[in-house]
Amino acid sequence: MLQTLRFRFLLGAVILCISVVQIFRKSFHPAFLEKPAEADVLHPPVIREYQPKYCDNVYQLFCQKRGVSQDPTGFVHPDIDGEMQALKIYKDIIRQHRDWNVEQIDEELVHQIFNPKRREQVLTAARWVKRQIENFISRQPRSVFNAQEKRQILSRIRKTELELPPPISLYADEPDLFTRNEVYYQRTLDGKMRLRVGGAFLLIAKSWFNLVFTLAHEWAHSIDPCEIRSAHLSFPAYDRLTACLLQRGLIISHKTRSECQENDQLSETFADWIAVQITADALASFSTEFQTDQIINAARNSVRDLCEQDEDIEIDTLSYPAPRVRIEGIFGNNPHIRHLLGCTLPKKEPSYCTFESKTTGSL
């Protein structure tokens, strides 16, 4: 009797453990996200006869619905929501501590916003993204990058640091970032390469895929063609990719365009292009777990915040391609993304730019 009870107890415990593990796997857990290298998980794009209607207008699929959007790993809110939330926290602290100085208030603000859980979420995504970009460069064939070129690119990726408070002194030269919605790459005057994350971003970026795309885009700036040029380096593979992006209209080629100068879109298009490869890895690693609509929601959340862009402002640098170009042309045309969305490849071949692209005709 006692043995039967013990057996039932053990069996129950095993079933419970399996269930917990299953639930845990499907939740937002770093171990689950640390999937095998992208080469193992990306399937070769399949050319299909038929495709869902949304494949003809990925921009509309992703951007038509406004407001909050959800995928199995979390939400993406409009930018302004994060700023409003951060602002409320800031104002509450000021009102509750009238006798505090600006530093004390910032200290408490950082304590409340950059809490261990939110920091860990960003740090986990950043580690994953950094490794995936390194893998992406490392696996390029010799015809793309020779050994020295790879070393030079990988060195820049590795030297780039993610700075995430506390302490508040980390952003001493940019205290307004504590309530901003930005993640951005910077090369300082003394050559330090860093990524910084605004507090409002931590409050609203809950989707793994949005974190991946955003961080990958920013990390890619450390190796974008303009940063490479300012380091007095040049790579033929970059020139081929640039020529292709120009030919496809993914970089606006206006009469006064001067490469890497004000208003040139090369840096941003390149950063998007890298981020799409990394996001495809992230989506592919979940493709067996997610149903089609979940994959679509995850893909949408990757680039959801690109849907809106304020273009009519005096200091606009025009350095970002239009939202439709970024979402439809760079993200939605990527063969792996299209495969994951259940879409056929565009008819024109070769349709998507790579480091090996050959351009046709004059630019």
Residues at the interface with Zn ion (CB under 5 A): 268, 271
**Using rule CB under 8 A, residue 54 touches another protein:** no
Q: Which of 175, 342, 346, 350 binds another protein (CB under 8 A)?
A: 175
Helix (H) or strand (E) holding 326: none
CA distances to 1, 15, 245 from 5, rounded to whole Å, are 6, 15, 68
**Using rule CB under 8 A, residue 226 touches another protein:** yes
Label the pairing between strands 161-163 and 69-71.
Answer: unpaired
**Using rule CB under 8 A, residue 233 touches another protein:** no
Helix (H) or strand (E) holding 311: none
- Closer residue to Zn ion (CB): 129 or 271: 271
- Closer residue to another protein (CB): 293 or 314: 314
Distance CA 317, CA 319 (A): 5
Partner whose footprint covers residue 320, from another protein, Zn ion, none (CB < 5 to 8 Å by kind): another protein
The phi and psi torsions of 187 (rounded to 5 degrees) equal -115, 120
Partner whose footprint covers residue 363, from Zn ion, another protein, none (CB < 5 to 8 Å by kind): none
Helix (H) or strand (E) holding 272: helix 266-286
Distance CA 160, CA 338 (A): 31
CB-CB contact of 51 with 149 (8 Å): no
Helices (H), 97-181: 102-113, 116-138, 147-159
Q: In the stretch 277-316, what mask flags binding to another protein with x, by CB under 8 A?
A: -----------------------------x-xxx--xxxx
- Closer residue to another protein (CB): 94 or 252: 94
Partner whose footprint covers residue 271, from Zn ion, another protein, none (CB < 5 to 8 Å by kind): Zn ion
Closest residue by beta carbon to Zn ion: 271
**CB 268 to Zn ion: min, Å:** 5
Closest of 294, 354, 313 to residue 330, by C-alpha: 354
**CB 232 to Zn ion: min, Å:** 22
- What Rg do the C-alpha atoms of the chain give, in angstroms? 22
Q: Which residues bind another protein (CB under 8 A)?
A: 79-80, 83-84, 87, 90-91, 94, 98, 102, 105, 172-177, 179-189, 198, 226, 230, 260-262, 264, 267, 306, 308-310, 313-317, 319-320
